[in-house]
Amino acid sequence: MKIAVIPARGGSKRIPRKNIKAFCGLPMIARAISIAQQSALFDQVVVSTDDAEIAAIARQAGAQTPFTRPPELSDDLTPTVPVVAHAIQACNELGWVIRQACCIYPCVPLLHPGDMAQAFEILLKREADFVYPVTSFAHPVQRAMRRLDTGQMQFLQPQHEMTRTQDLEMTFHDAGQFYWGQADAWLAHKKMHTAGLGLPIPNWRVVDMDNEDDWRRAELIYMAILADVA
């Protein structure tokens, strides 16, 4: 059995209640649920939450909320792996037999179902523990600078001050959208990044929703490019 696990606690602080805030007229989490359903990859879409309002909106959007996330897994410091492991264990106790689980973050309006399908294919073909999307840094990180109080700029790696950008190694970062994983890997609490394989996706489809500027930028991208095909 394959499930999607959407972790959506109620205590978001940078953008209050962002998991259910309206994004282009629809609660944000409802978009994640809809994309998971559109992919046709999952036997069940499950939302892990400690919040009754989030749970109600999730059910209205077509997801299952078969358990309540415990308080010890609902604070600011709780990482993703134990939350997904708890969800798998709770679902197994219901009689489900989970083989693979895909953690989908709730604030991913630019998520593409095709990426999840491709990642799942890699997961099976490579017999990987995890597969997740990554994207390249817009500018070489080797030429990153710090700004001093005086306004002076200082290279973090001074040896690359005169290196041409095209001669530097391409670097990537986690796209922060989803993580396909084998159920055994989640339950063993393996590190999903270093135990996983990266699937490169385009920069324009990656927006980290940390503040109102991020939110507005994501809405503009969605309305300009994705709304007609969503």
Q: What is the per-residue pLDDT across 130-168, written as a single tens digit (0 to 9) for each? A: 999 999 999 999 999 999 999 999 999 999 999 999 999
Kind of pairing between the strands at 100-104 and 178-182: antiparallel
Assess contact for 61 and 81: CB atoms under 8 A: no
The CATH number of the structural domain formed by 2-135+173-229 is 3.90.550.10
Beta bridge partners of 131: 180, 197
124: enclosing H helix or E strand:
helix 113-125
Q: CA-CA distance, 53 to 56, in Å (whole number)?
A: 5
Residue 13 has a pLDDT of 72
217: enclosing H helix or E strand:
helix 212-221
Assess contact for 103 and 7: CB atoms under 8 A: yes
Amino acid at 59: R
Residue 228 has a pLDDT of 52
DSSP state of 169: P
DSSP state of 38: H
User: What are the boundaries of each domain within the chain?
Assistant: 2-135+173-229
Residue 230 has a pLDDT of 47
For the whole model, what pTM was predicted?
0.93
Per-residue pLDDT tens for 49-83? Answer: 999 999 999 999 999 999 999 999 998 889 999 99
- Between the alpha carbon of residue 227 and those of residues 24, 76, 204, 218, the distances in Å are 9, 32, 15, 11
Count, residues in the chain: 230
First-last CA distance in the chain: 26
